[in-house]
Amino acid sequence: FYKIQGTFMMCQAPRYDRGNMLNDDGDTPMYKRILAPIDGSETSDFAVQEAIKLAADQHADLRFIHVMEETYLPYTEGYIDIAVLRDAVRQQGHRILGKSTALATQAGLKCEQALLEAHGERASRIIVDDAKQWGANVIVMGTHGRRGFDHMIFGSLAEGVVRFSPLPVLLVRGGEAQQ
């Protein structure tokens, strides 16, 4: 049971057989397509490991995405080549995706990757739209668990995904919560 604003919502738990989460029919895995948005942080690395474990358990396809957001720089004296900066961010995104894809491939998983550009949209919307378009059954992502002032300043990408997503979202806590 889940308590939601003073009321209770009943949710059916997945059935387990030999360690696998199964649909109601008892035969087919619950998740066939797992989307994992990643940013290269330690918290994201924990989510990558969890997504790989879940994909292996479910015999599911796995897709890693990295969203490039717009970078706004305050005016400074001197010259900043935005094209060079954007290329550096793009290369970093490809490195992050390559590292995660290599780990999944080593685990014997079918895996794909995509570098997406936000073009002024919220990254959370980009993630949810990609999950729906790709046909994901679940989104697995890291959360830093920020609260208070840090949450107010940095916001929460994970919170935005949970709010906008019609799909289940598995949130994986960062390093401090893992210990």
Is the Cβ–Cβ distance between 145 and 41 less than 8 Å?
Answer: no
DSSP state of 139: E
Q: Is the pLDDT of residue 10 over 50?
A: no
Q: Is the pLDDT of residue 37 over 90?
A: yes
103-133 pLDDT per residue, tens: 999 999 989 999 999 998 999 999 999 999 9
pTM of the model: 0.79
28 beta partners: none
| Residue found under tokens 């940095």 | 154
| pLDDT tier at 82, thresholds 50, 70, 90 | confident
